[in-house]
Amino acid sequence: MEPKTSQLPHKPVEDETPLYNQEFLDFLSGLPKERVIEKFESYQYQGFWYNPPLLHGIFNMQKHFQPCENDIFLVTAPKSGTTWLKAMIYALMNRKAYPPQSPHHPLLNNTPHQLVPFLEFINPSKYGSVCNSPDRTTRILATHCPLISLPKSITDDASPCKIVYLCRDVKDNFVSLFHFAQKNQWHISLEDSFELYCKGFSGAGPVWDQISGYWKESLDRPHKVLFMRYEEMQNEPQFQLKRLAHFLGKPISEEDEKSGVVDQIINLCSFDTQSRLKVNNTGDLVCGLSNSSFFRKGVVGDWKNRLTIDMASKLDQITEEKFHAFGLSI
């Protein structure tokens, strides 16, 4: 019988925002900054805009993080479906130890963020204690870090760890971000949010530059970077899950096929299942964001209910301009 969640051989790592030290404050003071909303200023680093907590995580990561051989990095722009893919990768990699149809599956009692932490919100002293597989072979870590700022020890070809990048139609991404800001009481209008988003203030934005960085890398080094899309995960979940399993070196076997494990993982990680769980509807992450704010509608094309025609055209136009040269369309 598989272990119950309370007996997980690996402990979920709680996110934690470490206090800023003088070194980080000195680093911040040398960066271009803009006050984008009342709550915090944004700082520009290596071409991308961050709020201080996120940048602090990247600063720490660049200084202290050491990857392990089998590490998996899930990279996204905020509000691209990170929570969903965290659940999918966790369920996929641990499918033998935790059968996805089990009533004791860890994803029924822990949020995907507890099981797969954000690197940015882990205290560097705890990097080594992240472990999200019972046999301790794999670490799955999420980050919003653009490619240019990921430590070389992760991106190097010499390092066998893998990067999965998930992108989303920027129109839905923006709408999701706007609702998230509302839910977490950032007190900002749709129009102001839109202007900021287009200028690149979206959490490790400009989102277009982040996406194109990983897109190019996935073409150059397909063994290293897998480029996924939220819309494709919605439209062809079986195919995308198998693609992911293959890339991560845990392909779906004939035996897996027969056991129905693919559909079981998809159901376990689906918006319907996850958004109804008590654990995902109560409490906050330590960084202060409510767990429930990571689940809203989970559909493709919701932008049609929120954006004006002008806003949608402007986002399409920027997307076209930024991606045309790379043969990328989203």
Catalytic residue among 10, 105, 144, 179: 144
| Of 312, 279, 33, 36, residue with least CA distance to 181 | 36
To the nearest whole angstrom, how small is the minimum distance from the Cβ of residue 94 to ligand A3P?
Answer: 17
User: Which CB sits closer to ligand A3P, 81 or 200?
Assistant: 81
Does 296 participate in binding ligand A3P (rule CB under 6 A)? yes
302 binds ligand A3P (CB under 6 A): yes
Q: Is 143 in the site for ligand A3P (CB under 6 A)?
A: no
Residue closer to ligand A3P by CB (options 123, 270) is: 270
Total of chain residues touching ligand A3P, rule CB under 6 A: 21
Give the CA diameter of the chain: 58
Least Cβ distance, residue 129 to ligand A3P (angstroms): 24
Question: Binding of ligand A3P at residue 290 (CB under 6 A)?
Answer: no
Torsion of CA 33, 35, 39, 45, to 10 degrees: -20
Tokens of 82: 């990170």
By the rule CB under 6 A, 111 interacts with ligand A3P:
no
CA–CA separation, 119 and 18 (whole Å): 12
* Interaction of residue 295 with ligand A3P, rule CB under 6 A: yes
CA 103/CA 292 separation, integer angstroms: 22
Tokens of 93: 């990699």
Angstrom distance (rounded) from CA 191 to CA 307:
10
By beta-carbon proximity to ligand A3P, the closer residue of 16 and 231 is 231
Residue 175 CB, shortest distance to ligand A3P, in Å, is 6
> Positive or negative CA dihedral for 239, 240, 243, 248?
negative
Provide the minimum distance between the beta carbon of 67 and ligand A3P in the complex, in angstroms, as a whole number. 22
Q: 28 vs 244, which CB is nearer to ligand A3P?
A: 244
What residues between 41 and 100 interact with ligand A3P by CB under 6 A? 76, 78-84
| 73-88: b (≥16 Cβ within 10 Å) or e | bbbbbbbbbbbbbbbb
Residue closer to ligand A3P by CB (options 28, 110) is 110
Residues 253-272 close enough to bind ligand A3P by CB under 6 A:
269-271
| Strand ordering across the sheet containing 72-76 | 140-143, 72-76, 162-167, 225-229
Distance CA 255, CA 269 (A): 21
CA distance 163 to 161: 7
Helix (H, G, I), strand (E, B) or coil at 279: helix
Nearer to ligand A3P, 126 or 296 (CB): 296
Among 241, 298, 315, 319, binds ligand A3P (CB under 6 A): 298
Rg of the chain taking only CA atoms, in angstroms:
19
Answer yes or no: are the C-beta atoms of 198 and 139 closer than 8 Å: no
User: Is 187 designated active site?
Assistant: no
Q: Which of 274, 291, 311, 319 binds ligand A3P (CB under 6 A)?
A: 274
CB of 289 to ligand A3P, least distance (A): 9
CB of 245 to ligand A3P, least distance (A): 18
Nearest-approach distance from CB 29 to ligand A3P, in angstroms: 30
Alpha helices (H) along 138-189:
152-155, 170-183
Interactions with ligand A3P, residue window 160-199 (CB under 6 A): 172, 176, 179
Nearest partner of 316 among 296, 326, 330, judged by Cα: 330
Q: Judged by CB, which is closer to ligand A3P: 250, or 296? A: 296
Chain residues that interact with ligand A3P, rule: CB under 6 A: 76, 78-84, 172, 176, 179, 269-271, 274, 294-298, 302
Active-site positions read 144
